[in-house]
Homo-oligomer: A and B are copies of this chain.
Amino acid sequence: MSVPDADAYREFRRDLHRHPEPAWCEFYTTARIVEALRERDLDAIHVGRDALAADERLNVPDAGTLEEWHDRAAAAGADPDLLADLAGGYTGCVAVAERGDGPVVGLRVDIDALPILESDGDDHVPVAEGFRSENEGYMHACGHDVHATIGLGVIDAVLGSDFSGTLKVFFQPSEEQVSGGKPMADSGHLDDVDYLYAVHIGLDHPSGEVVCGVDGFLAVRHFLAEFSGESSHAGARPEQGRNTVQAMAAAIQNLYAIPRHADGPTRVNAGLVGGGTATNIVPEESYIEGEVRGATTDLAAYMDRKARRVLRSAAEMHDCEVEVDLLGEAPSATSDEALAAVVGDVAGDVDGVTSIVDRDDLGGSEDATFLMQAVQDAGGLACYVGVGTDHPGGHHTSTFDVVEDDIALGVDVLARAIRRVAEERP
């Protein structure tokens, strides 16, 4: 195979951009990635069930939704045989290339999209250049289309070099719901990884800027609390109701009032709530979809314990029941200094890099931390790298986009870092 040129990568990214898919529904995306991987000289491509600890998946959509996206992927031209392997939400894949002696070096990229309606403004490049989302209401508004493309590019660049060792690229599903990291971390494919990089485009850094080691990942847990009570006529029989909206309100008030913790920042949010059916009916059902976070995994666990206590007691207070499900989670993590230093060293040699930032805080959450933690727990090193780009809209907004030239820059930085790490074994 010949190394693709920049046009090929751009076309690949735009193809993914046109077909954004939400968590566990990345059927077209995975199929297209696997098709591309098959054109490469790889030793193994683990797909779907073989790429994940399938039982660890959380918040998988219902069968109808999965089927709908599956059909849509088929209609968009994805390989039917590949799609068959992915059916049921077993998306994502792992590419493995063994190139003689040397350490196992991994790269993790994520591949899912967001339920955001993409801008149709003429000044939005995907509109102007004809690759706006074809899945109306969904959008690659966080650059995962770029990440997947970087994954391919790094394979090409590393395999085209004198790299000695084993390269593994993890194309992870369901990052936006922080529910894909754990199944991939527990898949077994991380067990022998000595060094792991993860990468993110943008993050409010401009084109030309590289962040060698990103930290400040807040550990997070997403939950869904569903309250059930009993309806009654609000005028005729208010006392016969068991009012889930009262339970929900008591829970919300007290969730936000969970005591602050002296050991570090904590967060809580009741981000999506609802309940009831009509003005004159005591509400029988309600729900809170929310999250807690902490600067450390322990702090997030503290918040989670407190939140569950609040939810349970609020239900009981109004004679209701509540079921609390974990929708997603991610631990905290820290980028290892040694791997970050390698990035700093190689980035200076990369065309287009104009600014090298040693460290920066994410200030949010990411489930790459599961993979980083798995590697670090086994004695390896891990590092999360930021590749700047002049993005016109913020992450998770309808006008997010990237400068496509920064794809090559990202590939170059990461491929050099991977090669250097394999040589130097820091």
Chain A residues with a Cβ under 8 A of chain B = 218, 220, 222, 233-239, 241, 243, 245-246, 248-250, 252-254, 256-257, 259-263, 265-283, 286, 289-291, 293, 302, 309-310, 312-314, 316-319, 327, 363-365
Give the residue among A241, A291, A314, A317 with the most B Cβ atoms within 10 A.
A317
Output the nearest chain B residue to A272 by Cβ-Cβ distance: B276
Chain B residues near A318: list those with CB within 8 A. 254
Do residues B261 and A239 form an inter-chain contact, with CB atoms below 8 A? yes
Contact A262-B234, Cβ < 8 Å, known A272-B279, A313-B314 = no
A293 to B220, CA, bound (A): 25
Majority secondary structure, A binding face: mixed
Point out the residue from B222, B236, B276 that lies within 8 Å of A262, measured CB to CB.
B236
Point out the residue from B239, B249, B275, B280 that lies within 8 Å of A259, measured CB to CB.
B239
Do residues A317 and B327 form an inter-chain contact, with CB atoms below 8 A? no
Point out the residue from B259, B283, B290, B319 that lies within 8 Å of A309, measured CB to CB.
B319
Do residues A364 and B314 form an inter-chain contact, with CB atoms below 8 A? no
A265 to B234, CA, bound (A): 12
Rank and list the top 5 A-B pairs by shortest CB-CB distance, nearest first: A256-B257, A274-B274, A234-B269, A313-B317, A249-B252
Give the residue among A234, A237, A267, A291 with the most B Cβ atoms within 10 A.
A234
Point out the residue from B260, B266, B317 that lies within 8 Å of A267, measured CB to CB.
B260
Chain B residues near A218: list those with CB within 8 A. 235
Chain B residues near A275: list those with CB within 8 A. 272-274
Do residues A266 and B257 form an inter-chain contact, with CB atoms below 8 A? no
Give the residue among A276, A282, A302 with the most B Cβ atoms within 10 A.
A276
* A177–chain B nearest beta-carbon distance, Å: 9
Sample of 7 further A-B pairs with CB below 8 A, known A235-B364, A239-B259, A241-B259: A235-B267, A236-B363, A238-B262, A238-B267, A245-B270, A272-B275, A272-B279
Do residues B271 and A265 form an inter-chain contact, with CB atoms below 8 A? no
Do residues A280 and B273 form an inter-chain contact, with CB atoms below 8 A? no
Do residues B269 and A282 form an inter-chain contact, with CB atoms below 8 A? yes
Chain B residues near A235: list those with CB within 8 A. 218, 220, 267, 291, 293, 363-365
7 residue pairs from A and B, CB less than 8 Å apart: A220-B235, A234-B293, A239-B261, A250-B253, A269-B281, A269-B282, A309-B316
Output the nearest chain B residue to A263 by Cβ-Cβ distance: B239
* A280–chain B nearest beta-carbon distance, Å: 6
Point out the residue from B222, B257, B265, B280 that lies within 8 Å of A265, measured CB to CB.
B265
Chain B residues near A248: list those with CB within 8 A. 249, 252, 273
Output the nearest chain B residue to A265 by Cβ-Cβ distance: B260
* A415–chain B nearest beta-carbon distance, Å: 30
Do residues A238 and B257 form an inter-chain contact, with CB atoms below 8 A? no
Point out the residue from B250, B280, B290, B309 that lies within 8 Å of A271, measured CB to CB.
B280
Point out the residue from B252, B278, B283, B316 that lies within 8 Å of A316, measured CB to CB.
B316
Chain B residues near A220: list those with CB within 8 A. 235
A291 to B327, CA, bound (A): 34
A249 to B246, CA, bound (A): 8
